[in-house]
Each structure stands twice: as structure tokens, then as C-alpha cells.
């Protein structure tokens, strides 16, 4: 079996100039190469965790050091992984720089699937994980601007948290799916959530079957409005479709179409892979930067936004 890894940097509107576009491409390629390198010594799980960690550290995407802020101006993050019929996830964490690493510790060292909030932060501290540097200057400036506008009584659209995040050059969430040399599949996702979300809000990313899912048939990772992804069981539907014999493209398209027809466009995206290494990426947003690297070392990128 030839290993393969697929990553994405988030579905969204992504208004970028050519410099930011180059940084997005470089970050995706770096994530693909870093994850793929582990295919020689590690499992599909090691591959997806490493790729997502690189995306978290890039600061470009809405995850890890690039995480957005909630209504209180703080970053809080969710992440999850799935491999060999087990999952590990963390929700509403504020301490770790790399929530995906903490999710892997939950998977490896506890009997649980999901640990949340301050207890998860304490666990990260006890494990000696690196602390998060706090929201980036870009997010702090954007937050101040929007809070000021809200205070001035400026009209903000209904459901503004969703609408704003779709307007503001940002993608949502990072993710990876991989097939290793032993034919095993894994999925991983990490996110800062949605701009101006209610403090304490948890999205789809730490929920197996919503933000991520993997079994022996396939693996899928989702991005977009978490509430819609949870209600659609998006990644579970994709992987179950593959298990029932659907082509990975058909399974992905059908699951995303069902979400779109219920909740509208500009809401979600997905990457998926099956046990033969066939892969697909689908999104109903303007862009969803994604890419893959296969056993021959070939890298391909897609879903990139047009620079303005
Ligand atoms: N898809 C990430 C979130 O809604 O939190």
C-alpha cells in the first residue's frame, strides 16, 4: 500500500493578495511533506497529527496560533482525531499551542474520547505542552473593530457570528486524512471555531462523525459552520457511503449536497480518502485550499482563492 495524505486549510471566502496566497501554498506543502515523512516510520495517525500541527503552527489558518477569538476576545479551540475505531478530542481549550497534540494524548493515554475546558487545559499543562501565545494581532484588531461597531449600534446581520466569519478572508478549521503503508486510515481536525462565537461554544471539530471520522473503509475531515456539520453528521455520512460501496467522490458530494440543501451554500467543505487511496475534496464556499501528496512524492494543490 502506498501512503497518501490529504490536508485542507479551511472552507471560506478567503480574500487574499498574492503574498498571502504564496504563504497558504507554502504552508499546505510544508504540512503535506511533514506528515508524509512520518509514513516511513509511523502510522496514518502520526501522519495526520503532524500535518495538522504544522498547519496550527503556520498562524495562517484558523487553528492553533492562527485561531480566531470569541465574543470575550479570547481564543478557544477544539480538535479531534480518529484511528482504528478509536477517537481522541479536546474542546474549548485555551492553554495549548497545539490542541491536536493534546487530542492525541487523550487518545493515547486516557480511556476517554473528549476532554473539555479547564480540565483539558490542566492536562495540557501537566503533560508539559507548549502554551498558546494568545490571539494574533490581526484577530485582536478585528475584534476591537467589530466590538466598537456593535457598541456604536451599527447594524450587524442576524446570526452575525456566522456571517462575519464568512465575510472576513478567513477559512475555518484545518484538517488532514491519511492512508498509511499498512492500509490504515486516520482523520484529524483542529480549529479556533467561529469569530465572535459565544464563550463556551463548541463546534463540530471535537465530535466524531461530525468534524472527523475514520474506519477501515475511509476517512473524512470537515470544515465550515460547526452547528450545521453536527446536525448533518457530515463525516459519518461520507465514510458510511464509502462503506456501502459508493465512490469517495459520490459519497462526499452527496453528503455535502444534503447539508447544502438543508442549510444553504457558503457553509461547509470536506476532504475524504478511501482504503484504496482514492481521494476527494468538496466545498460549497468560494474556496477551500487543500492538497495531497501521494506515494510517488507528487504534490497537488487545489481549491485556492483567486488573489485580488
Ligand atoms: N468548523 C469549526 C467550527 O464550527 O467550530
Q: Which of 66, 70, 190, 193 for mutating ligand 1's site (highest number of atoms within 8 Å of CB)?
A: 193
Q: Which residue's entry shows cell 459552520?
A: 225
Residue 170: predicted pLDDT: 56
* pTM: predicted TM-score of the whole model, two decimal places: 0.95
Q: What are residue 214's DSSP bridge partners?
A: 219
- Is 265's pLDDT higher than 60? yes
**Which amino acids are annotated catalytic?**
173
Q: How far is the CA of 67 from the centre of ligand 1 (A)?
A: 11
Contacts of 111 (CB under 8 A, 6+ apart): none
Closest Cα partner for 301 from 26, 37, 48? 26
Q: How far is the CA of 293 from the centre of ligand 1 (A)?
A: 25
CA distance 192 to 66: 8
pLDDT, tens digit (0-9, with 9 covering 90-100), for 220-253? 999 999 999 999 999 999 999 999 999 999 999 9
Ligand 1 lining (C-beta closer than 6 Å):
172-173, 191, 193-194, 203-205, 223-226
Do 59 and 65 form a contact (C-beta atoms < 8 A)?
yes
Residue 192 CA: nearest ligand 1 atom is 5
Do 284 and 269 form a contact (C-beta atoms < 8 A)?
yes
- Is 308's pLDDT higher than 90? no
Class of domain 4-302 (CATH, top level): alpha beta
pLDDT, tens digit (0-9, with 9 covering 90-100), for 34-71? 999 999 999 999 999 999 999 999 999 999 999 999 98
Alpha-carbon torsion, ordered 51, 55, 56, 61, to 10 deg: -150
Exposed e or buried b per residue across 139-173, where buried means at least 16 C-beta atoms within 10 angstroms of its C-beta: beebbeebeeeeeeeeeeeeeebbebbbeebbbbb
- Is 164's pLDDT higher than 80? no
CA distance 128 to 112: 20
- Is 131's pLDDT higher than 60? yes
Amino acid at each position: 500500500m502506498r501512503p497518501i495524505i490529504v490536508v485542507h486549510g479551511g472552507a471560506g471566502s478567503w480574500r487574499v493578495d498574492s503574498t498571502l496566497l504564496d504563504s497558504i501554498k507554502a504552508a499546505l506543502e510544508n504540512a503535506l511533506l511533514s506528515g508524509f515523512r512520518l509514513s516511513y516510520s509511523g502510522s496514518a495517525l502520526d501522519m495526520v497529527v503532524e500535518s495538522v500541527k504544522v498547519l496550527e503552527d503556520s498562524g495562517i489558518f484558523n487553528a492553533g496560533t492562527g485561531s480566531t477569538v470569541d465574543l470575550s476576545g479570547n481564543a478557544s479551540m477544539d480538535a479531534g482525531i480518529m484511528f482504528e475505531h478509536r477517537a481522541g478530542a479536546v474542546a474549548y481549550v485555551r492553554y495549548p499551542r497545539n490542541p491536536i497534540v493534546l487530542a492525541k494524548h487523550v487518545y493515547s493515554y486516557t480511556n476517554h474520547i473528549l476532554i473539555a475546558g479547564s480540565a483539558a487545559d490542566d492536562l495540557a499543562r501537566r503533560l508539559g505542552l507548549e502554551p498558546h501565545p494568545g490571539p494574533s494581532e490581526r484577530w485582536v484588531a478585528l475584534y476591537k473593530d467589530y466590538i466598537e461597531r456593535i457598541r456604536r449600534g451599527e447594524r450587524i446581520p442576524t446570526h452575525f457570528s456566522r456571517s462575519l466569519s464568512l465575510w472576513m478572508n478567513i477559512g475555518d478549521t484545518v484538517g488532514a486524512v491519511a492512508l498509511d503503508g499498512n492500509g490504515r486510515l486516520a482523520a484529524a481536525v483542529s480549529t479556533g471555531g467561529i469569530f465572535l462565537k459565544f464563550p463556551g461554544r463548541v463546534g463540530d471539530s471535537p465530535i466524531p462523525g461530525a468534524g472527523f471520522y475514520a474506519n477501515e473503509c475511509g476517512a473524512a475531515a470537515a470544515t465550515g459552520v460547526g452547528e450545521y456539520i453536527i446536525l448533518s453528521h457530515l463525516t459519518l455520512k461520507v465514510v458510511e457511503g464509502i462503506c456501502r460501496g459508493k465512490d469517495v467522490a459520490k459519497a462526499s458530494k452527496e453528503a455535502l449536497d444534503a447539508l447544502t440543501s438543508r442549510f444553504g451554500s457558503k457553509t461547509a467543505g470536506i476532504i475524504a480518502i478511501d482504503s484504496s487511496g482514492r481521494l476527494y475534496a468538496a466545498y460549497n464556499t468560494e474556496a477551500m485550499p487543500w492538497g495531497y501528496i501521494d506515494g510517488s512524492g507528487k504534490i497537488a494543490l487545489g481549491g485556492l482563492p483567486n488573489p485580488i
